[in-house]
Amino acid sequence: MSLASLFDLTGRSVLVTGAASGLGLAYAETMLEAGARTFMTDMDAQALDTEVERLKARYPLVEGAVLDVADAAAVDALVDGMAARHGAIDCVFANAGISAGRGFVVEAGQLENLDLAHWDKVLRINLDGVLHTVRAAARHMKPRREGRIVVTTSIAGLRSESLSGYAYVTSKAAANNLVRQAAIELAPHNVLVNAIAPGPFATNINGGRLRLPESAERMRTHIPMGRVAQVDEIKGLALLLASPASSYMTGAIIPVDGGATAR
């Protein structure tokens, strides 16, 4: 197989959740540029419509729909419909998630002050939503004995993280182990499950923290490369994990963090 064909997604169908902005939008752009029919979902209907229309001018194989990944029935219906229309789903990016919340460096983020409603909301989207998406994808991929599932987790799920809230770090740690568990179950069926674990990226989800001078400086001092990442810096790994080039990779949790977890 040539190098070009290793990274060619022509004729493949890809689903990206949380695709209206940030890393999800970068994933969708990458899949489209590599030739895949790409279905984008998000809770933000206006932002999603704007991005789908923008991309459609260059990539006619893009579609979009509003989706709440916390609703298992809605996820199943969307994945079933996509498979029925296109014959198969080759890759799914389970990317939808919500923000880190306040870490324990501020009083509001400490244990005794936790907002339990926020805890429930974060786990419902960041963990239950991942489960719903991975499960729906696996149901279609297993019989075909082929598929790629990529989950966006976080380096906050690999270690304690004082700048991130309890709900966020817990949801991401659980998602990392969900990836490992699903990878082992699905490996005999040639369905590969991996995770991208980003460090700080210049995205909307981190925007509030990056605007605080003390938080931005704290992030930079804990990153050996001395800066936060730009969104385009995720695209190469996304393409690798969606493409034939990753045919012997499963169960990997891959940090993209400027060296932060190497300390």
Which domain CATH number covers 127?
A: 3.40.50.720
pLDDT score for 208: 54
Secondary structure class of 61 (helix, strand, coil):
coil
Task: Name the H helices within 96-165.
Answer: 116-123, 129-144
What is the DSSP secondary structure assignment for residue 7, as one 8-state letter? T
Q: What is the pTM of this model?
A: 0.93
Q: Is residue 20 part of a domain?
A: yes
Residues 34, 90: contact at Cβ < 8 Å?
no
Q: Is residue 217 part of a domain?
A: no
Q: Between helices 129-144 and 166-186, what is the axis angle to 10°?
A: 10
Tens of pLDDT along the chain (263 residues) come to 888 899 999 999 999 999 999 999 999 999 999 999 999 999 999 999 999 999 999 999 999 999 999 999 999 999 999 999 999 999 999 999 998 777 777 777 777 788 899 999 999 999 999 999 999 999 999 999 999 999 999 999 998 777 788 999 999 999 999 999 999 999 999 999 999 999 989 876 655 555 556 666 766 778 999 888 999 999 999 999 999 999 999 999 999 999 999 98
CA distance 45 to 223: 35
Between vectors from CA 110 to CA 105 and to CA 116, what angle results, nearest 5°?
135
Residues 140, 83: contact at Cβ < 8 Å?
yes
Q: Is residue 187 part of a domain?
A: yes
> Catalytic residues, which ones?
168
Q: Is residue 58 part of a domain?
A: yes
Q: Is residue 45 part of a domain?
A: yes
**Which domain, by its residues, includes 92?**
3-202+232-255
Encoding tokens for residue 88?
């198969």
Q: Is residue 209 part of a domain?
A: no
Count of domains forming the chain: 1
Tokens 């919340």 — which residue? 101
Compute the CA torsion angle 215, 95, 252, 135 (nearest 10 deg). Answer: 140
Between vectors from CA 230 to CA 65 and to CA 165, what angle results, nearest 5°?
75
Q: Is residue 214 part of a domain?
A: no
pLDDT score for 127: 98
Q: Is residue 215 part of a domain?
A: no
Other Cβ atoms closer than 10 A to 166: 21
CA distance 187 to 76: 22
